[in-house]
Structure 1
Amino acid sequence: MIKHFFTIALRNLERNKAYAVINVMCLALGITCAILTFVLVTYHLSFDTFHAKKDRIYRITTELHQEGISRDASVPQPMGKAFSNDYEFSEKVAMVFSNSDMLVSVPSSPGDKKFKENLAFAEADFFDILDFPFVQGNRNTILTEPNTAVITERIAEKYFGDQNPINQVIRVQNKWDFRITGILKNLPVNTDRREEIYLSYSNLKDYDSWLAGESWRGLAGGMNCFVLLKPNVLPSDVDKVFPALSKKYYNERDAKAYQFKLQPLSDIHFNPELGGYLAKKNLWALSLIGLFLIIAACVNFINLATAQALDRAKEIGVRKVLGSGRKQLFWQFIQETAVIALLALVLAFALAQLSLPYVNELFAIQLRIDIFQDVYLLTFLPILLVVVILLSGFYPGLILAGFQPVLALKGKLSQKHVGGFSLRRGLVVTQFAISQLLIVGTLVIANQMRYSRQADMGFRKEAIVMLPVPERQKSTLSTLNSEIARIAGVEKVTFCSHAPASPDFASVNFHFDSRTEDEDFEISIKIGDDQYVSTFGLQVIAGRNLNPSDTVREFLLNETAVKKLGARSPQDVIGKRMRIGLNNREGSIVGVVKDFHNKSFHETIAPLCITSSNNWYFSCAVKINPANLSTTLGAMETAWKKTFPDQVYEYAFLDEQIARFYELDNMMLRLIQAFAGIAIIICCLGLYGLVSFMVVQKTKEVGVRKVLGASVKNIAWLFGKEFIRLLLIAFVMAAPFSWWAMNHWLETFAYRIQIGAGIFILAILITCMVTAIAVGYKSIVAALMNPVKSLRSE
């Protein structure tokens, strides 16, 4: 029986090739999106889930309670020891300090290989908390001795080739030698730990004495504390003791400001506020879009199947007369649907494989589609196939199976017997609504990204090259400055800790003038010399710029800081004294600069000060003339290498660094653009197929109208007016939801566009144009048909 049904299904598909091709293509596009979405979502959900004790692994984070609450993944350096000694909640506690772009070399190599690497200083218990497997070395003694290191297999091959790396020596920052005592298996792609070199934590004092000190005041970016809780300990119980810990190690005011909280390992990847990659709500939004596209494809199938039902009425009538029951006919159609869905799945799997390199490039990840290795995908595909078959085939199957044989054989069935146009209207409206939702989303995100790129940030960002400064002796800085300044094409040079818009230092200990207590807000800190203001084009609106002398401690404030201090005008703070937590630096306020964006547009402009200090000049910013760019860059490289011959040269354009603030937003834009395009294609194919059947049903009507004088325009409107009406209904349905959804997304930006009527008008115009193309072509063909042919049988 099954073989018989299968044979009939194939014959019906062969008989209606156009119908079959449209359905297979639509379903294949929908399933392709579903597969890619599923693989992407499961990839992100798998991050750091391979650790055996993952449910008991937490990271201690800092909550800064001032005007509001801000959170930081970093903790004061003494946290690990204090938590371990003062409380009995944990089995293991490990401090880890991560740093990027550290110079690593092999002193024994012939060419003295040098590379910039991400590395971390880690306590030995770190590898008892997180289960990164070792291929060489004794896990029990790893990093217990000073000047020892652990590296991955990839790093071992990169530096030592075929040699045994154990007991080999690497040199960090051209200063410190570390003996390799362990080799880690290459890190899996689904971990947020990106460091491939781990150094003994006891050597942190050599890198920075303050980082390795006992000060509880201030946070150093990259200083993390990981905890493995005992089996019966609840994280809520641990969170309750943190206020007491703050009171023990801080004065009364700071104890209120510095609060701590556990963060589950599973939350790290999904918490952008604490350095995570993306929020989980983005994954759920992506899943919802994938679901919408599957629904749109199934809607096509239902529409075309019910529209074609009248053409199959006599076949169904004969089968019923010959004894086929309603149940048999229903399952026959389900089998036909299954054949189409199976073909679509095979095609979708191939399309997903072809699309995967583009997805990997877009997200800078390493996804694979392997049903034999991925048990989740192997489970998902059959479930998806069944859902598609039931969604697509259930209703049309009931319609076909419910035909009355007498009416079917006499050809007296009409549209009302297949659900009329009411159901199809609803389904077409659903398709239009999904398309418009995605189009509106694309337009809003694109406009916000354009605004983020083009809006004035309050400083100069074009044609500025950022160079690293690995050594900060005054004589070295002077040499580099003079070498670069004499290059033709170089207009300005400044040394600084950070560019105006970048991660920066922050101080919660900010004392102003003669006030008895520190201010109750955090102030951001930029370190720059006297050329910082002119190089970046900042505007001094009161007072003067910083003096060239590095020994005189002076400060510039921004307008926001002045307002926070309660001053009536910028002039009121000139000459006042202030102190910040950066080594308790104290000096006079000599000027006020106009507000500029010191972070991305996701964040509000923060209170900020600018001061100078040679010890904190990590970067050299060079304003260049864009003419003869390659010559200027080459000369700058020569000058830099002459100053730092033992270092690895690299540079970056400031505007490109700022663009990376919106990397994830741009990824989402490109993905939604692709999904919107696919939704439009599915909609077009469906409309084309539906209009094709409508043309067949209305052949005689079109002929009569043409005989009575109807023009091509009149005939085209006959078919098109119904869809225009449905499009307007879909717009009324989709507009409020898309407005709400995109406003919700825009809330992540402190500086944002407003969603105006123009975006919705453009969305409906795009959909109208697509509809006109899909419907218009077939309508015009019908209108140009000779009426004699359509009326010949009358």
Structure 2
Amino acid sequence: MFRNYLTIAFRSILHQKAYNLLNLAGLAIGITCGLIMALHVQEELSYEKDFPGYDNIYRVHVKEWAKSSPVLAEEIEKFMPEIEAIGRFAYAGTPIVGYQKNNAAESTGYYADAEVLKVFGLKLLQGKSDQLLTVPNTIVLTQRMAQRYFGKKDPVGEVLNFDNSTEYTVVGVMEDLPKNSHLKFDFLVSMPTFYKQLPPDLLTNRGWMVMYTYAKFASASQKTKAQEKMPAFIGHHYADWDNKEQMIAEGALAFQPVTDIHLKSNLEQEMGANSSIAYIYILVAVQILVLVIACVNFMNLFTTQTIKRLKEVGMRKILGANKSQLVLQFLTEAFILALSSVVLAIVLYQFALPVYNSITSKNLTWDVLFTADNILLLISIMLFVWLFSGLYPALFISGIEPVSSLKATKTPRSFPVVIRKSLVVFQFAVSLFLITGTIFISQQMHLLRNKEMGFDKNQVVYIKLYGDLYKSMVEKPQTFKSEFLRNPNVLTVATTSNYIGDDLSVEGITPQGTNGQEFPSVRVMRTDGNYLKTLSIPVIAGRDFSTDFNDSASVIINEQAVKDLRLENPIGTVLQGLVGNRTAKVIGVAKDFHFTSLHNTIEPLIIEYRPEFTGSLVVKMQAGKTKETLAYLRKATQTIAPGSLFVYNFLDEKLNELYKTEDSLSTILQIFSVLAIIIACLGLFGLAAHSIETRTKEIGIRKVLGATVTCIVALFSKDFIKLIGIGFIIAIPLTLYAIQQWLQNFAYQIDIQWWVFALSGLLVLVIALLTISFQSIKAALANPIKSLRNE
């Protein structure tokens, strides 16, 4: 019996090759999109889940800070015996690391307690666990970094040089970190190394947020017990603070699940840029919509094909076939088409994956599709497509009475035309939603890239200062800069502690003589005297830093700082609370500029004159001379500090990285919008062909009576134009709501303009009309005599 079903199914499919090819193409494209999106979301949701006991690992954070004070870990461990292990990280930067003056390269690392290995279950590959991260100037490498510098040689006991200034002895090698983790480092330096570099009073300061503190519990119940003690611990930890009660009421300290960090955390001073769960929701929604469009397309075309087999259905019923047998027959055909689409989708997936990886900077691979979980996912998608797309047509056609089906030569009156039209409306509503949303997102990204930032970002390059290069800058700054300025293509040279776009230091700086008054924290950047001039940032009051004055205790503040510090006459005001309990005089007010991403409004900024605190050279170059100027800068660094690694970044490229996630989202939506239109038009093409096929004699009669090609095209277009219009009306409020929600992520937003909706509707209408016109013009040009001969 089943063999007969398969035989009839294959005959039917081959008999309708054109329609089934459209079906296969649309469905395969939809399944491919669904596969890629599902694997992308799966990877995003897998962050931190490779660590043993990941569901019992928590980060302890303070209010809006991802970091906490150095003393927090020790105190909370004593107060809460429920904590199984607790460890800390402190950022060690990205130094230039070399081995015996060879293989120098940038590497990123942290100072760390020995306990972090236990918290995260990091496996030690070489070395002794009882000697790790406990002795000053010792280091543990990841397996990848060990191979980079030592190859197959045992690195334990070897010495690495950092920034040509500090040496660390390798005491261990640990396994590489999982790719899907917010922890990104090449090495860990012992925490005692960090402690010996700083004064004791700073290390006991409960307000100094410098440590990333992680706690691990044996079970969820232990964490619950510890959480119940948190208010009491906050009172204990901040016992000497005047606002202790406020800290308790606000829940100043909290346990954050490590699995929430990548998608649900946007705290101050995160380890790196995190993603957002909102983008996962968007991608899931797009994935489902495109897949459903493909299924709707399949349903419409499959139903259209089955209508042509009404006489076959009637004859089979008269000969004794029951409804369940007919349903099974049509479901078999739908299953073969769905299975073929999945096979084709797997082939398309292989070709689409490299493109998708380049857009999203992901590392999805071909073989990941064939893990047990993903094979189950693939089967689930196929079953969803099969049942969603094939069940309704099978039930409908098998339910028609034999007499009606034998009499019918066209679509029977009982056919639910409203449902078919509704599906077409749905397809185009989704297509319009995606296209309109994509245009608005592209406009927002254009705003982010082109908004006036308050400084000149073009032709500005940052060069890393370290070792002898840094020493030369500090000891002989004028000689140092003169070496670079000899080239006429180098316009100005400055130094700075931070890139624009970095998370700047947040400090409690206040005007002198205002003790007891509360002020918001401010951002702080350390520079030399040429920084503002190099970036063309105007000073609108007072003066810029100058060699004509002793500016060793001077600062320049921005306009927002004047407002937030409530300074009526800022010039000459003395500020207190800078690093090292320093005070400094305000000598100028700089015009507000965007020193961070446009996700945020401009914050108060203090620019302190501290050349010795800087780590990057900022060079403004002549336009059109980039290649030769970089070659000169490379040569100049070798002249000043032979053997130094020339590490540089362009400011405009660095700023573009701030919107990498949004850029990827915009590109993905553009691609998926195009695919949605293609799938919808494939279905429209098939439906138009069927409509024309069933009205062949009508077309012939109209032509004989004098109807023109234009009239016939208009006849077949008007119904579809109505459906697209309804889809347009539905899409407008949905798009408006969605884009307004997304724009809440940005402090600076585009205006939502009506013409974008009109443009999207016109675009979809033109594409749809071209699709319909191809079929209708072909029918209109056909010989009417031939059509009148056929029933």
TM band (smaller chain): over 0.9
Question: 647-656 or 690-699: which moved more?
Answer: 647-656
Q: Which runs of 5+ in 2 are unaligned?
A: none
Equivalent residue for 2:432? 436
Contact 1:189–1:366 (8 Å) recurs in 2: no
Q: Which amino acid aligns with 1:228?
A: K
Q: Which amino acid aligns with 1:433?
A: A
Query: Whole-Å Cα distance in 2 between the matches of residues 167 and 716 of structure 1?
Result: 83
Query: Whole-Å Cα distance in 2 between the matches of residues 453 and 205 of structure 1?
Result: 42
Query: Whole-Å Cα distance in 1 between the matches of residues 412 and 572 of structure 2?
Result: 86
Equivalent residue for 1:640? 637
Contact 2:501–2:654 (8 Å) recurs in 1: no
- SS of the counterpart of 1:602? coil
- SS of the counterpart of 1:525? strand
Q: Which amino acid aligns with 2:684?
A: L
Query: Whole-Å Cα distance in 2 between the matches of residues 211 and 176 of structure 1?
Result: 24
Q: Please report how far the alpha carbon of residue 272 of structure 1 lies from its aligned counterpart in structure 2 after TM superposition.
A: 4.7
Contact 1:147–1:179 (8 Å) recurs in 2: yes
- SS of the counterpart of 2:85? strand
Equivalent residue for 1:536? 535
Q: Which amino acid aligns with 2:482?
A: S
Equivalent residue for 1:142? 132
Equivalent residue for 1:240? 231
Aligned pair in 2 of structure 1 residues 680, 189: CA closer, same or farther (>3 Å)?
A: same
- What's the CA shift string for 1:114-142, capped at 9, x where partnerless? 11101121111111110222333333443
Aligned pair in 2 of structure 1 residues 41, 160: CA closer, same or farther (>3 Å)?
A: same
Equivalent residue for 1:416? 413
Equivalent residue for 1:288? 285
Query: Whole-Å Cα distance in 2 between the matches of residues 169 and 706 of structure 1?
Result: 91
Equivalences for 1:239-638 in 2 at 5 Å? 239-248=230-239, 250-252=241-243, 256=247, 259-274=252-267, 275=270, 277-370=274-367, 374-411=371-408, 414-420=411-417, 422-470=418-466, 471=470, 474-507=474-507, 509-548=508-547, 552-567=552-567, 572-638=569-635
- SS of the counterpart of 2:513? coil
Q: Please report how far the alpha carbon of residue 663 of structure 1 lies from its aligned counterpart in structure 2 after TM superposition.
A: 0.5
Question: 77-86 or 782-791: which moved more?
Answer: 77-86
Q: Which amino acid aligns with 1:634?
A: A
Q: Which amino acid aligns with 1:244?
A: G
Query: Whole-Å Cα distance in 1 between the matches of residues 282 and 61 of structure 2?
Result: 27
- SS of the counterpart of 1:605? coil
Q: Please report how far the alpha carbon of residue 208 of structure 1 lies from its aligned counterpart in structure 2 after TM superposition.
A: 5.5
Query: Whole-Å Cα distance in 1 between the matches of residues 276 and 266 of structure 2?
Result: 9
Q: Please report how far the alpha carbon of residue 499 of structure 1 lies from its aligned counterpart in structure 2 after TM superposition.
A: 4.1
Contact 1:688–1:774 (8 Å) recurs in 2: yes
Count, aligned residues: 777
Q: Please report how far the alpha carbon of residue 533 of structure 1 lies from its aligned counterpart in structure 2 after TM superposition.
A: 1.7
Equivalent residue for 1:67? none
Q: Which amino acid aligns with 1:296?
A: I
Q: Please report how far the alpha carbon of residue 74 of structure 1 lies from its aligned counterpart in structure 2 after TM superposition.
A: 1.6
Contact 1:511–1:517 (8 Å) recurs in 2: no
Equivalences for 1:116-155 in 2 at 5 Å? 116-155=106-145
Equivalent residue for 2:83? 90
Equivalent residue for 1:66? none
Match among 204, 207, 211 for residue 217 of structure 1: 207
Query: Whole-Å Cα distance in 1 between the matches of residues 179 and 661 of structure 2?
Result: 18
Q: Which amino acid aligns with 1:546?
A: F
Question: 111-120 or 460-469: which moved more?
Answer: 111-120
Query: Whole-Å Cα distance in 2 between the matches of residues 210 and 4 of structure 1?
Result: 86
Query: Whole-Å Cα distance in 2 between the matches of residues 412 and 640 of structure 1?
Result: 85
- SS of the counterpart of 2:583? strand
- SS of the counterpart of 2:176? coil
- SS of the counterpart of 2:755? helix
- SS of the counterpart of 2:266? helix
Query: Whole-Å Cα distance in 2 between the matches of residues 344 and 322 of structure 1?
Result: 33
Question: 616-625 or 190-199: which moved more?
Answer: 190-199
Match among 70, 74, 78 for residue 71 of structure 2: 78
- What's the CA shift string for 1:505-533, capped at 9, x where partnerless? 211x2211432325421111122222122
Q: Please report how far the alpha carbon of residue 21 of structure 1 lies from its aligned counterpart in structure 2 after TM superposition.
A: 0.6
Q: Which amino acid aligns with 2:190?
A: S
Identity of paired residues, percent? 30
Equivalent residue for 2:20? 20
Q: Which amino acid aligns with 1:618?
A: G
1:709 and 2:687 aligned? no
Equivalent residue for 1:226? 214
Query: Whole-Å Cα distance in 2 between the matches of residues 19 and 659 of structure 1?
Result: 46
Aligned pair in 2 of structure 1 residues 291, 80: CA closer, same or farther (>3 Å)?
A: same
- What's the CA shift string for 1:288-327, capped at 9, x where partnerless? 1111111101111111122223311111111111111111
Equivalent residue for 2:165? 175
- What's the CA shift string for 1:588-628, capped at 9, x where partnerless? 22221211112111001001121211232111111110132
Query: Whole-Å Cα distance in 1 between the matches of residues 305 and 45 of structure 2?
Result: 43
Q: Which amino acid aligns with 1:20?
A: N
Match among 161, 172, 177 for residue 187 of structure 1: 177
Query: Whole-Å Cα distance in 1 between the matches of residues 147 and 302 of structure 2?
Result: 59
Q: Please report how far the alpha carbon of residue 550 of structure 1 lies from its aligned counterpart in structure 2 after TM superposition.
A: 6.1
Aligned pair in 2 of structure 1 residues 104, 417: CA closer, same or farther (>3 Å)?
A: same
Q: Please report how far the alpha carbon of residue 722 of structure 1 lies from its aligned counterpart in structure 2 after TM superposition.
A: 1.1
Contact 2:136–2:192 (8 Å) recurs in 1: yes
Contact 1:72–1:273 (8 Å) recurs in 2: no
Q: Which amino acid aligns with 1:474?
A: V
Query: Whole-Å Cα distance in 2 between the matches of residues 136 and 453 of structure 1?
Result: 47
1:165 and 2:155 aligned? yes
- SS of the counterpart of 1:61? strand
- What's the CA shift string for 1:11-36, capped at 9, x where partnerless? 11000001111111111111111111
Query: Whole-Å Cα distance in 1 between the matches of residues 402 and 410 of structure 2?
Result: 10
Query: Whole-Å Cα distance in 2 between the matches of residues 681 and 100 of structure 1?
Result: 48
Query: Whole-Å Cα distance in 2 between the matches of residues 279 and 678 of structure 1?
Result: 25
Q: Which amino acid aligns with 1:756?
A: Q
Q: Which runs of 5+ in 1 are unaligned?
A: 64-70
Contact 1:440–1:760 (8 Å) recurs in 2: yes
- SS of the counterpart of 1:574? coil
Q: Which amino acid aligns with 1:14?
A: L
Equivalent residue for 2:55? 55
Equivalences for 1:20-39 in 2 at 5 Å? 20-39=20-39
- SS of the counterpart of 1:724? helix
Contact 1:89–1:238 (8 Å) recurs in 2: no
Q: Which amino acid aligns with 1:601?
A: L
Contact 1:98–1:120 (8 Å) recurs in 2: yes
Q: Please report how far the alpha carbon of residue 242 of structure 1 lies from its aligned counterpart in structure 2 after TM superposition.
A: 4.7
Question: 396-405 or 463-472: which moved more?
Answer: 463-472
Contact 1:579–1:587 (8 Å) recurs in 2: yes
Q: Which amino acid aligns with 1:106?
A: Y
Contact 2:437–2:739 (8 Å) recurs in 1: yes
Query: Whole-Å Cα distance in 2 between the matches of residues 514 and 253 of structure 1?
Result: 24
